[in-house]
Amino acid sequence: MFLLFLNLDLLRIHHLSSVDPMCRQRGDPENPLLSKDGDFILGGMFSFHSSWEDRMDNYTHKPMPLQCTSLNFRDFQFAQAMRFAIEEIDNSTDLLPGISLGYKIYDTCGSVARSVGVTLALANGNEIVSVPLKAPCTRPAHVQAIIGETSSSPTIAVATVIGPFVLPVISHFATCACLSDKTKYPSFLRTIPSDYYQSRALAHLVKYFGWTWVGAIRTNNDYGNNGMATFTETAQQLGICLEYSVSFFRTDPYVKIQKIIDIIKASTSKVIVAFLSHADLDVLLPEFSYHNLSGYQWVGTESWIFDSQTAKMDIHHILDGAIGLSIPKAHVTGLREFILDFWETLFSCKFKELKSSAEILRECTGHEEMTGVQNSYTDMSLMPIFNNVYKGVYAVAHALHNILSCNKTCNKNVQLDPFTVLQHIRKIHITTKEGDDVYFNENGDPAAKYEIINWQPRGNGIVEFVTVGLYDTSLTPEKQLNLQNESLIWARNTKQVPVSVCSEKCPPGTRKVLQKGRPVCCYDCIRCAEGQISNVTDSVTCVKCLPEFWSNERRDACVKKEAVFLSYEEIMGALLTAASLFGACMTIGVILIFFKYRKTPIVRANNSELSFLLLVSLILCFLCSLTFIGQPSDWSCMLRHVAFGITFVLCISCLLGKTIVVLMAFRATRPGTNVQKWFGQTQQRLCVTGFTLIQIIICIIWLTTSPPFPSKNLIEFKDKIILECALGSAVGFWAVLGYIGLLAILCFIFAFLARKLPDNFNEAKFITFSMLIFCAVWITFIPAYISSPGKFSVAVEIFAILASSFGLLICIFIPKCYIILLKPEKNTKRNMMGKKAPNSL
């Protein structure tokens, strides 16, 4: 490096000390391979060779010229398309009349360094210019525009160098999205869409077929790296993951190729996105064939997907079924014949290895004939790219036509400058003779439109490039991709779309959980929890059902929870209903018996009026339990608690009255007592009425302030809705229940005090026992009611009502019915008074 700087300094000193009054281009002149004089010159840059011989420069002497190798017929064809367009324009009387266009076409050998040198040669020319010693060596640009380069990396270098001079550069095949940056490349335009659109289109194509787990190979240059970066970014947005992404350049050592092969073999993805130039794929393909890397689904770019030479190299059918994007098919009338005529001239020279293109032109006479030759030069499958070159030349010609104000003649006196030419090229909007629109957007790019190509093998090892769809960015996003799936053929010549996923899709009812340390496309499917669902495939979350709904067994839909309440149809409800009706009927039977034997001493002994009222209240107690069965409503919720509270208070008030009557009756028989007059029938009625009225007042206050109402209990059971009656005011409920308990305790106390009265008459002991049962039932009821879930709490309350009602009925009235019906001899006043019958003589 030190020697390099030293030599440069010596050259600078030599130049400053020179007194030669000539402006000379430094370094060796670059001479065009093909040229033609004209009023205006267009430059052309193509890689007639695809490689060059390595050399070791030691910077101790001037480097030798680049030795190009590997003839590239593709770019020969591109150059001929440029020549054809210029000759067609020169022969036209409508476009640039009276003006001849010339060209200077250079071979860059695919070298970035040589491309830069050629760019400067086209801008400056190679002529020696004589100027005064102190005058600047400046003059107008030698060419009006440059057509080329073919690939992105050399084009970037060319556009960077020529950008400050605003000399138009129009590429036919450089697709790197980076070239759309007008701040870096102000004078660059192209007739092929930017890779920004192609990369995004490839990602959408991969997503369309459900491939979320793919591998990627790219050319290690601006074309491959930038294109793959855009593809990766879009793929991530679409939920596509790259298992691997490797780079390759055709000059890489074999070790790099072997590493790529090992990565592919070890991978689980079955789809490979190849953002490769045709030259790099041509190097990889024989190695892939040798290692039998078949069965993979290839997705390709426009660089190789419709390249017939690549298809011919694929003798082991590694790429069969490949799918990718290509420039739409095109046709330029007369171009094929023009290229074949030129090839016929070259072929007749019988060069087996063409080392110098200048020798070709020098040796051939142009009168040779070509018979049945088929090779890469005669192949017209790249006609869309030829058309791009053709459109680029016509864009420049129309810009010159407008600048020169051409009508029937052109104004040759107009002084052209690169900036003016560039501005007019940017503004043109023309239609070629084949009907193709030519225009550039603000980034110097054309509209992006691609055909989707599918490699379909035919007989004799021939591969046909079948158009199976279209990708048009001018349409709305949902209509941009249009495919004909039925005509597709995939890897291994199958009709079944390949599957390439890291994890299978999670079905509805599950959610995705990412696998630790792996890409987002690798996940496990976890079943949704109870009460949650997912009704789409590959859901990332489970949605909680609304409170009144619950997840079904598959966890893919929310179903309305089952409404649960104590109904008449179920066994428990039917049994309780039957028990309630049986108790009511049994009580009615007792009433009938008492009514029939109402004149007998046992009925009259203890206030028959209270007995009948007690029996009626017991009927109501049995029947009020029916209001607890069935679906709760506003009226049933209020009625059940009010009816229960009032009927039971009425019942216990009657018992309390009967107990007091018993006590008063025996107190009144003692000498000097006058108790019975204070508790006669009127007082008994007032007592019952007063006690019941207090409960009625409590119920009215409860109903007017915060009455019971139907509610849905969504907490007790996860998958069921309990329809129940909310208390409204818990204070009101417990006040009703507490008042019943208070009366029951008073009744129990009075009955307990009367326990030692004569047995034959003593009804108090039966009341005591019935109150003991009553209190035991309701004391047990409280914890059972609180702890019972759902409808069972209602059943517990009904059971408590029925049990206490049966206890009162059986303990108080069944013994009397037993005497009335089965022991009538005991149903006498003497027996009731406890006196023994006289002994018979």
* Residue-averaged pLDDT of the chain: 84
Average pLDDT over residues 177-195: 94
| Whether pLDDT at 654 is above 90 | no
- From CA 658, how far away is CA 656, in angstroms rounded? 5
Structure tokens at 430: 């023309």
Q: Which residues contact 6 (CB under 8 A, 6 or more apart)?
A: none
Lowest-pLDDT range, 143-152, 514-523, 647-656? 647-656
Per-residue model confidence (pLDDT) at position 791: 79
Average pLDDT over residues 35-41: 93
| Whether pLDDT at 19 is above 60 | no
Q: Which helix (H) or strand (E) element contains residue 723?
A: strand 720-726
Per-residue model confidence (pLDDT) at position 16: 41
Structure tokens at 201: 């289109």
* Model confidence, pTM: 0.66
**Angle at Cα 231 formed by Cα 451 and Cα 49, nearest 5°?**
70
Lowest-pLDDT range, 319-328, 450-459, 680-689, 812-821? 680-689
Handedness of CA 341, 343, 344, 345 (dihedral sign): positive
| Range picked from 9-23, 231-245, 693-707, 723-737 for highest mean pLDDT | 231-245
Q: Which residues contact 193 (CB under 8 A, 6 or more apart)?
A: 175, 327, 445, 446, 447, 448, 449, 450, 473
Q: Which residues contact 175 (CB under 8 A, 6 or more apart)?
A: 152, 190, 192, 193, 194, 195, 198, 223, 227, 302, 303
* CB-CB contact of 398 with 427 (8 Å): no
| Whether pLDDT at 632 is above 80 | yes
Tell me the helices (H) and strands (E) count for the chain, helix number first: 22, 29
| Range picked from 28-32, 150-154, 422-426 for highest mean pLDDT | 422-426
Per-residue model confidence (pLDDT) at position 810: 86
pLDDT in tens, 226-266: 999 999 999 999 989 999 999 999 889 999 999 999 999 99
| Whether pLDDT at 376 is above 50 | yes
Average pLDDT over residues 590-602: 85
3-state SS, residue 603 = helix
Per-residue model confidence (pLDDT) at position 833: 60
- From CA 73, how far away is CA 211, in angstroms rounded? 36
Per-residue model confidence (pLDDT) at position 749: 82
pLDDT in tens, 212-229: 999 999 999 999 999 999
Q: How confident is the model at residue 103 (pLDDT cuts 50, 70, 90)?
A: very high
Q: How confident is the model at residue 673 (pLDDT cuts 50, 70, 90)?
A: low
Q: Which burial class, exposed, middle or buried, applies to 562 when counting CB atoms under 10 A from its CB (0-12, 13-18, 19+)?
A: exposed
* Peptide bond between residue 825 and the one before it cis (omega within 30 degrees of 0): no
| Whether pLDDT at 518 is above 60 | yes
Alpha-carbon distances of 121 from 31, 143, 162, 163, 422, rounded to whole Å: 8, 10, 11, 15, 19
Average pLDDT over residues 199-210: 95
Q: Which helix (H) or strand (E) element contains residue 731?
A: helix 730-753
Average pLDDT over residues 775-792: 77
Buried b (16+ CB within 10 A) or exposed e, 790-801: bbbbbbbbbbbb
Per-residue model confidence (pLDDT) at position 148: 87
- From CA 21, how far away is CA 40, in angstroms rounded? 28
**Angle at Cα 501 formed by Cα 498 and Cα 505, nearest 5°?**
105
Q: How confident is the model at residue 198 (pLDDT cuts 50, 70, 90)?
A: very high
For residue 14, count other CB atoms closer than 10 A to its CB: 9
- Phi and psi at residue 108, in whole multiples of 5°? -100, -5
Q: How confident is the model at residue 665 (pLDDT cuts 50, 70, 90)?
A: low
Nearest to 223 by CA among 265, 296, 274: 274
Residue found by looking up tokens 């998958």 in the block: 719
- From CA 751, how far away is CA 656, in angstroms rounded? 8
End-to-end CA distance of the chain, in Å? Answer: 160
Alpha-carbon distances of 72 from 96, 156, 282, 283, 399, rounded to whole Å: 33, 21, 13, 14, 31
- Phi and psi at residue 764, in whole multiples of 5°? -65, -35
Per-residue model confidence (pLDDT) at position 17: 41
Task: List helix spans (H) across 669-680.
Answer: none
Per-residue model confidence (pLDDT) at position 321: 94
- From CA 654, how far away is CA 725, in angstroms rounded? 29
3-state SS, residue 781 = helix
| Whether pLDDT at 89 is above 90 | yes
Average pLDDT over residues 664-669: 60
Nearest to 663 by CA among 772, 755, 742: 755
- From CA 708, how far away is CA 103, in angstroms rounded? 100
Q: How confident is the model at residue 128 (pLDDT cuts 50, 70, 90)?
A: low
Per-residue model confidence (pLDDT) at position 569: 87
- From CA 381, how far away is CA 73, in angstroms rounded? 13
| Whether pLDDT at 350 is above 70 | no
* More confident site: 31 or 423: 423
- Phi and psi at residue 435, in whole multiples of 5°? 90, 10
Per-residue model confidence (pLDDT) at position 406: 92
